[in-house]
Structure 1
């Protein structure tokens, strides 16, 4: 998928994850998943907030101190060196400037870029349980709450990786919709397209979103659209399970009930049960289902994002 201007989708990323030697010790934390696999599909916008605010390399490491919800970023050897305001302000600035991103991959455990469980030290010298969020990441995410974000380490989990990239492409599709003009018809068509993806990720929120759009005719699309999309992105952030995927697969089978032979139905149901029980990956029953829909097309199902929420050559469903 390309963006509204016909360019590859852009992802923000912590520069060290692409191999840039910008860390405090002059090193990097290259993620081959990012630099070699995802780089073939996305245009990365690399940012190192610590370098950007004037901290050279190598440099004194910084760490978070104080309250977990509002920590300060100070020098690890010289705590009087407080970089908090610069990091936070830079995060706000980048959130405004990088308005064409469709997602962001942050460096885990970083006092500037970590999304969660970053060590926050107390006066007694020990980190508080649960940790906090890096200051740059905190400011960026607060300004762009709907943007799909993830940490590099979590992307090694196939389920989390597939979930993140599903959200990235949904976000990009919504941006294309906005570029073409937000209308009641566009919103309802978008929701219809994401029906089964929502059912897989968050069945309850799918119903809530349907109720929200039930009164769409009484609301200005420019007011309701952003509210709908925020709730959609929150719903998609919840990972689908084998159970919810299996439920969606069975729903899709219903559209083929008059087209398949008893033997074909039995084979399809058998593969869905094998998937539900963890014997085969999602791609197995899904491939057979797509095969049947190619022979027995259904206009409504052909529009469903669930069947292909991300490029097939990413092979994201081969491991879940």
Structure 2
């Protein structure tokens, strides 16, 4: 779909520029669908479809944008800049000859740059941008796609995990899932996982509580509801509302603002608190503070 021309096209074009810039910055790691939706400013149940329409338009312009994870909100998109100037300057016969030369030279980087379809790539030509920087992430993403149980060692303990999704944040990949026999969704740093293998015979099971109807992760019914009080300043309060939504209660104490949220997805709360960093302080309850401290200690390998 080609967006219409005219003055009204300024905002859509700015949105496309933001998406391209974000994907370029993410590089090999890619970017989660939920993050891209926030960058685009889409809202509501049609957000995923709207993002897909923008990506289709960008692909028509010559950008190669691939989904390397799950469907819908579980997707992770990675962009390869395709040099479509060659397509404009070369005839069809010249393009075909160039592609043959690239394949004979096993130049996988040029295969990516030229946007050669996967169906035309021989098996011995390896993509210049792999699915993962290491074998662990490749195994994890394949297990999610196939719906298979994951076995790995993490922080000195053997784990058996039902994978839910993967996401990238601050240059690191995280696996989201629940350990076999438990009903608590956890996040695992993929680079700290060892001896990773997908069980070829045992399918994974998604927790019913992890399914969600709303678009914003903070609305997902994953955990029993609990009221959490966050403290910020008047200058940063808009940032907190943008990441967490509208609070149930708001109290001003001088320069500080206390925002109360009823939380049903603790994992989403923690990830957003990490994004906000020193702009926000967790006032209570203590169990939420302890969960955050424990997870940060685990990420630090302590």
Tell me whether the two structures share a fold, i.e. TM-score over 0.5. no
State TM-score, norm by structure 2.
0.29
Which structure is higher in strand share?
A: 2
Which structure is higher in helix share?
A: 1
State TM-score, norm by structure 1.
0.28
The structure, 1 or 2, with the larger RCO (C-alpha pairs under 8 Å, 6+ apart) is 1
